[in-house]
Amino acid sequence: MDTKTIAEDDQLIEQLKTAWCCEWLRPKRQLAGKSGSRLHLVDVKLDGYDGHAILKISTGDLASESEKQKRALELSPKFGSPHFPQVIRYDQFDNGSALLMTVAGHGLLFTTAFSQINNSSFRLLAGQNITDQILNG
């Protein structure tokens, strides 16, 4: 991320802090994503939530992603609650939108993207575990 984008994100985060009535909204580190959106791990305190969250900032509209997240939790609440991020806040602004979500699985320190698991035995085990939890709840 270039210096200009960091400055723009910092300015936007201040605007979101006000719009969402946050006591605080502090970026902790930038995260990697695939969609082209900018992702930040943030520490946030606002009405009804206090802790780490994922802030997704996009030049596009994230409304459909917000709805998909909510729908996935509705369809499979038993599996979804501990595995899918929950939407905390969503907002649109002049040149994009922002989505604040819980951290899926309640942690990022000990997680690895499935695509980065190189050991085929671990990939198979992870795939079986995911499938079992989806089918057997």
Tens of pLDDT along 56-71?
A: 999 889 989 888 888 8
Task: Say if domain 3-106 classifies as CATH 3.40.50.880.
Answer: no
Write down the domain spans for the chain.
Answer: 3-106, 107-137
- DSSP letter, residue 115: G
Q: Is the pLDDT reported for residue 109 higher than 70?
A: no
Distance CA 52, CA 111 (A): 15
What global pTM score does this model have? 0.72
pLDDT of residue 128: 86
127-132 average pLDDT score: 84
